Structure 1
Amino acid sequence: MIRGFLVLLISTVSAIADTGEDYKKEIEPLLDIYCYSCHGDGTSKGDFAMDEFESLSSHLDDMNHWLPVWRNIRSQIMPPSDEDQLEIVEKKKVLEWIERSVFRLDPEHPDPGRVTIRRLNRNEYRYAVKDLLGVEFETEDYFPPDDSGYGFDNNGDVLSISPLLMEKYISAAEEVVMRALPKGSSRQVPVKVIEGNKFQQSEDENETGRWIPFKEKSRVVAHPEIKWDGEYEVTVEYQIRGAAEATDQEAVLKVKCGGKELGEEVMGWDQREIIKLQGTVPLKKGRSAFEVEVTPEKPAGDGQEEQALVVHRVVIKGPLGGEHREYSKGYRMIFVDGEPSGNAADKERYARKIMRSFVSRAFRRPIEDPTIDRLVAIVKEVDAQAGKSFEDGIREAITTCLCSPRFLFRVEIQPEPDNPEKVVLLDEYALASRLSFFLWGSVPDDELLSLAFNKKLRANLKEQVKRMLGDPKAKRLVMDFVGQWLQTRDVTTVPLEPHRILGLRRRDDASRIFNVRLLDDMRIETEMLFEFILMNGRPVEEMISARYSFLNERLAKFYGIEGVAGEDFVPVDLTAHPERGGVLTHGSYLIVSSNPTRTSPVKRGLFVLDNLLGTPAPPPPPNTPELEEASREAGSNPTMREMMQIHRDKPDCRGCHARMDPIGLGLENFDALGRYRVTEHGKPIDAAGELLTGEKFANVAELKEILATDRRDDFYRCLSEKLLTFAIGRGVEYFDAPTIDLLVDRLKKKDGKLEELIMGIIESAPFQKRRGSD
Structure 2
Amino acid sequence: MPYLSPLRSVLALGSLCLAAIAFADRPEQLLALVQQNCIDCHDGQDGEGGFDVASLDADVLKRPASEKELFKWIRVFDRIHDGEMPPPDAGEMDASEHTQLVKGLRQTLDESQSQLHRQIGRVQSRRLTRDQLEWTLNDLLAVDLPVAELMPEEERTDGFRNIAQAQSMSYYHLEDHLRIVDAALDYAFVRAFSPEQPFRLDLPATRIAAKRKGQRNREPELRQDAAVVWSSSMPFYGRINNSTVKVSGWYDIALNASSIKGPEDQGQRVWCSVRSGECTSSAPLLNWIGEFEATPEASEYTFRAWLEAGHRLEIRPQDRRLKLGRFNGGQVGFGEGEPQDLPGVAMYHLTLTQVFPGGDPDRVRKALVGDLNVKWAGNKDAPKPRRGESVTDALARFALVSQKPAQDLRRRTRQFASRAFRRPANYQVMKPYFAMITQGLEEKQPPLEVLYQCCRAILCSPRFIYFTEAGADAKQTLASTAKALPGNAIGGRLDDHAIATRLSYLLTGHGPDWTLKKAADEGKLQDPAEVIKHTRRLLKGDNLDHFVADFTDQWLDLADIAFTEPDRRMYRHFDLTVQSSMVQETRRFIKTLISENVPAHQLIDAKFTWLNNRLADYYELDHKIEDDQWRRVALGDHPHRGGLLTHGSVLKVTANGTDSSPVVRGVWLCDRILGVPIPDPPESVPAIEPDIRGAKTVREILEKHRSQSECASCHLRIDPSGFALEHFDPAGRWRDNYLVRKGGSFRTGPKVDSAYQMPDGRPFESFQQFRELAADNDDQVARSFAAKLLTYATGREMTFADRKALDQIVVQTADEQYGLRSVIEASVTSPIFLNK
Query: TM-score, normalization: structure 2?
Result: 0.69
Q: Which moved more, 1:72-81 or 1:156-165?
A: 72-81
Corresponding residue for 1:730? 796
> 2:636 corresponds to which residue?
575
Q: Report the counterpart of residue 135 of structure 1 in structure 2.
A: 143
- The one-letter amino acid of 1:687's match is S
Instruction: Decide whether aligned partners of structure 1 residues 215 and 618 sit closer, same or farther in structure 2, where only a CA change above 3 A counts.
Output: farther
Decide which of 167, 172, 193 is 2:175's aligned counterpart. 167
What amino acid does structure 2 have at the position aligned with 1:438? Answer: L
Task: Report the Cα distance in structure 1 between the residues aligned to 2:495 and 2:22, rounded to whole angstroms.
Answer: 38
Q: Are 2:41 and 2:48, in contact at CA under 8 Å, matched by a contact in 1?
A: yes
Preserved CA contact (<8 Å) 1:187 1:326: no
The residue aligned with 1:524 is 584
SS of aligned partner of 2:679: coil
Cα distance between partner residues in 1 of 2:302 and 2:707 = 68
1:490 paired with 2:560, answer: yes
C-alpha separation between the residues in 1 aligned to 2:433 and 2:221?
Answer: 57
Shift of 1:358: 2.0
Q: Judging changes above 3 Å, is the alpha-carbon distance between structure 1 residues 165 and 82 closer, same or farther for their aligned structure 2 residues?
A: farther
The one-letter amino acid paired with 1:403 is C
Question: Deviation string for 1:547-572 (max 9, x for gaps)?
Answer: 11112222221111241244433211
Is the Cα contact below 8 Å between 1:188 and 1:328 reproduced in 2?
no
1:392-407 to structure 2, matched below 5 A, reads 392-407=449-464
Q: CA RMSD in A?
A: 5.2
Per-residue deviation, 1:187? 6.0
Distance 1:697 1:215 in 2: 55
Letter in 2 for 1:583: L
C-alpha displacement of 1:365: 1.0
Match status 1:427 vs 2:427? no
Q: Distance in 2 between matches of 1:430 and 1:295?
A: 49
TM-score by length of 1: 0.74
Inter-partner Cα distance in structure 1 for 2:93 and 2:629: 49
Match of 2:526 among 441, 448, 458: 458
Name the CA distance, whole Å, in 1 between partners of 2:344 and 2:501: 44
Structure 1 stretch displaced more, 541-550 or 407-416:
407-416
Q: Work out which of the residue numbers 469, 483, 493 in structure 2 matches 1:412.
A: 469
Alpha-carbon distance, 1:518 to partner:
2.0
Q: What stretches of structure 1 of length at least 5 have no aligned partner?
A: 1-14, 202-212, 222-241, 277-286, 319-324, 503-509
Could you tell me which of 532, 541, 562 is aligned with 2:601?
541
Q: Is 2:758 the counterpart of 1:691?
A: yes
Considering Cα pairs closer than 8 Å and 6+ residues apart, tell me whether 1 or 2 has the greater RCO.
1
**1:764 aligned onto 2:771:** no
Q: Does the CA contact (< 8 Å) of 2:19 and 2:100 recur in 1?
A: no
Contact 2:471 2:491 in 1 (8 A): no
Q: CA deviation at 1:120?
A: 0.9
Which one of the candidate residues 681, 690, 695 is aligned to 1:620? 681
**Is 1:334 aligned to 2:368, yes or no?**
yes
Select 2:240's aligned residue among 244, 253, 262.
253
Instruction: Output the CA distance in 1 between the equivalents of 2:495 and 2:761.
Output: 49
Q: 1:742 aligns with which of 804, 808, 812?
A: 808
Distance 1:332 1:192, change over 3 A: farther
- For the 8 Å contact 2:606–2:642, the answer to whether it is kept is yes
**Partners of 2:633 and 2:74 in 1: how far apart?**
47
- Pair 1:293–1:363, CA change in 2 (3 A): closer
**Alpha carbons of structure 1 residues 32 and 453: separation in structure 2 relative to 1, 3 Å:** closer
Change (3 A) 1:630 1:557: closer
Alpha carbons of structure 1 residues 75 and 731: separation in structure 2 relative to 1, 3 Å: farther
- Report deviation, 1:52: 10
- The answer to whether the 8 A contact 2:566-2:731 is kept is no
Task: Write out aligned runs for 1:579-590 (5 A).
Answer: 579-590=640-651
Aligned equivalent of 1:676: 734
One-letter identity of the residue aligned with 2:144: E
CA distance in 2, matches of 1:250, 1:414: 58
* Structure-2 separation of matches of 1:582 and 1:533: 11
Separation (CA, whole Å) in 1 of partners of 2:314 and 2:61: 76
- Give me the whole-angstrom Cα distance separating, in 2, the residues matched to 1:483 and 1:92: 41
Q: Answer yes or no: is the 8 Å Cα contact 2:278–2:284 preserved in 1.
A: no
Find the counterpart in structure 2 of residue 501 from structure 1.
570
User: 1:613-646 CA deviation, whole Å, 9 max, x = no partner?
Assistant: 23233333446455447677xxx55444344445
Q: CA offset at residue 603 of structure 1?
A: 0.7
Letter of the 1:527 counterpart: R
Paired residues in the alignment total 679
CA distance in 1, matches of 2:235, 2:45: 69
Quote the sequence identity (%). Answer: 25
Measured against aligned partners, the alpha-carbon deviations of 1:701-758 in whole angstroms (never above 9, x if no partner) come to: 221111111x223222322222222222112222222112111212323321222222
CA contact (8 A) 1:251 1:267 kept: no
* Contact 1:214–1:308 (8 Å) recurs in 2: no
Q: Deviations over 1:378-401 (max 9, x none)?
A: 567668888x75444333222221
1:84-108 per-position Cα deviation (integer Å, ceiling 9, x unaligned): 9999999887544422256448999
Residue 22 of structure 2 is matched in structure 1 by: 19
Aligned to 1:114: 122
SS of aligned partner of 2:352: strand
Matched, 1:596 2:657: yes
Residue 67 (1) aligns with residue 74 (2): yes
Contact 2:143–2:188 under 8 Å retained in 1: yes
Q: Which runs of 5+ in 2 are unaligned?
A: 1-17, 206-216, 226-231, 244-252, 256-275, 290-299, 304-311, 318-324, 331-342, 376-399, 478-487, 739-747
- SS class of match (1:549): strand
Shift of 1:161: 0.5
Q: CA deviation at 1:448?
A: 1.7
In the alignment, is the contact (CA less than 8 A) between 1:697 and 1:703 conserved in 2? yes
Report deviation, 1:424: 3.6
- SS of residue matched to 2:727: coil
Deviation of the 1:445 alpha carbon? 1.6
**8 Å Cα contact 1:253-1:267 kept in structure 2:** no
Secondary structure, aligned partner of 1:572? strand
Q: Deviations over 1:562-615 (max 9, x none)?
A: 412444332111126331011111111111211331111111111112222232
What do the CA deviations read for 1:488-539 (whole angstroms, capped 9, x no partner)?
A: 1111112x3422433xxxxxxx4xx222332222122222211111111111
Specify the code of the residue in structure 2 equivalent to 1:405.
P
CA contact 1:131–1:442 (8 Å) conserved in 2: yes
**CA offsets 1:332-365 (integer angstroms, 9 cap, x no match):** 4334447515533265554344323221111011
Counterparts in 2 of 1:541 and 1:93: CA distance versus 1, 3 Å: farther
Q: What SS is found at the alignment partner of 1:493? A: coil
Q: How does 1:306-455 map to 2 (within 5 A)?
A: 314-316=352-354, 327-337=361-371, 340-341=374-375, 342-345=400-403, 347-348=405-406, 350-369=408-427, 371-372=429-430, 374-375=432-433, 378=436, 390-416=447-473, 424-455=492-523
Q: Contact 1:253 / 1:266 at 8 angstroms: preserved in 2? A: no
SS of the counterpart of 1:398?
A: helix
State the secondary structure of the residue aligned to 2:354: strand
Task: State the match for 1:700 in structure 2.
Answer: 767
**Which residue is 1:752 aligned to?**
818
Shift of 1:146: 0.9
> Which segment drifts farther, 132-141 or 293-302?
293-302
Secondary structure of 1:668's counterpart equals helix
Deviation at 1:218, TM superposition (A): 9.2
Q: Give SS of 2:523's match.
A: coil
SS of aligned partner of 2:633: strand
Contact (CA 8 Å) 2:126, 2:164: kept in 1 or not?
Answer: yes
CA deviation profile, 1:671-703 (whole Å, cap 9, x unmatched) = 111111223335443222101221222222221
| Contact persistence 1:361–1:446 (CA under 8 A) | no
